[in-house]
Amino acid sequence: MVTASSTANPLRHRRLLDELTHAVNRVSSTDMRDWGARTAQTYTKVLSRRTRNLGRTIKGAGDAIAAGARGTVSAARAGHLRSFLQTSAAAFATRAVTFGQNVQEGALALARVVKENPREVAPKLLAGSLSFLLVSGGPDANGGFPDSDIAIGGIGAHRSLFTHSILGGAFLETLIYSLGDLMEVAHVHLPRDHDPVWDVIAKHSAGFKKALAMGAGLGMVVHLGSDGTWQPGTYHGIPIHLPREVHCAILDVNAAAEGIDVNKKASPFQSRRTFRTANAKAPR
């Protein structure tokens, strides 16, 4: 049985790395070119999906603001402004309560699934949680993938448009599925007596990739939402001057577009190989 403690051995880490290198080096140039083409197509596909989300978000926000403005003006002219505002506040409170109930029901449903099938669900939940923490930067949303722009270009490059938008979210999702696809392609080239963890990964790769992608998506939502609200800032590299409020609005809209996308994760790759268990005959 593969456990966390059994994979923490430095010697085993060395073996896993050697086996992966062995397998990838034996993937044919044709398979590698096909993998590269699929990766490029995937980035285009997931970015297009987010772009549609972004358009719907902007349109929805604009329609809501326009409707609210028209309602406010009409109510003021009719002398019913106070009543209109009270009704609007009550409707907002109802939506907030409904949202909270949906979150609670989702958490309870997840807890039931983990309780009923912990061996299969718990590892995927752990993978998704780790992905969320690594991308978001933790509860305070400082660090993580979006803030990698600081490591690359210094503090002056902070809040680059690539890492702090749907562009970065699409990159992360593509990276997760692309690496998973490469591992499927390389799996058949593993040594005959390879570590059994590769077979576990191959067998459950679809679930793990989806969990990692969803965790990363949620991490982007939290980080971008934080930078647009309680840690407001401005983008780096935008050639025209915009008020800080506009920068924050752009961050929030991108966070909303990523949020819409979280439940749409599904591998764009079809399985390319039938995984081979340890000690099965390996190709020369």
Q: Which residue has the higher pLDDT, 205 or 174?
A: 174
Torsion-angle region of 240 (φ positive above 0: left; ψ -120 to 50: alpha; else: beta): beta
Q: What tokens appear for 201 in the block?
A: 């990964």
Residue 22 contacts residue 187 (beta carbons within 8 Å):
no
What pLDDT score was predicted for residue 155?
77
Q: What stretch of H or E contains 189? A: none
What pLDDT score was predicted for residue 100?
58
In this structure, the dihedral spanned by the alpha carbons of residues 240, 241, 245 and 248, taken in order and rounded to 10 degrees, is 40
Among 78, 77, 75, which Cα is nearest to 89's?
75
pLDDT in tens, 150-160: 888 787 778 89
pLDDT in tens, 11-59: 888 999 999 999 999 999 999 999 999 999 999 999 999 999 889 888 8
Mean pLDDT, rounded, for 67-78: 75
Residue 228 contacts residue 248 (beta carbons within 8 Å):
yes
> How far apart, in whole angstroms, are the C-alpha atoms of residue 76 and residue 80?
6
- Mean pLDDT over the full length of the chain: 80
What pLDDT score was predicted for residue 95?
58
pLDDT in tens, 79-131: 776 776 677 666 656 755 665 565 566 556 556 656 666 777 777 888 888 99
What pLDDT score was predicted for residue 73?
74
Torsion sign over Cα 46, 49, 55, 56: negative
pTM of the shown model? 0.75
pLDDT in tens, 232-280: 888 988 888 888 888 988 998 899 888 888 877 765 544 444 444 444 5
Mean pLDDT, rounded, for 192-216: 87
Tell me if residue 200 falls in helix, strand or coil: helix
| Domain positions in the chain | 30-51+121-264, 83-116
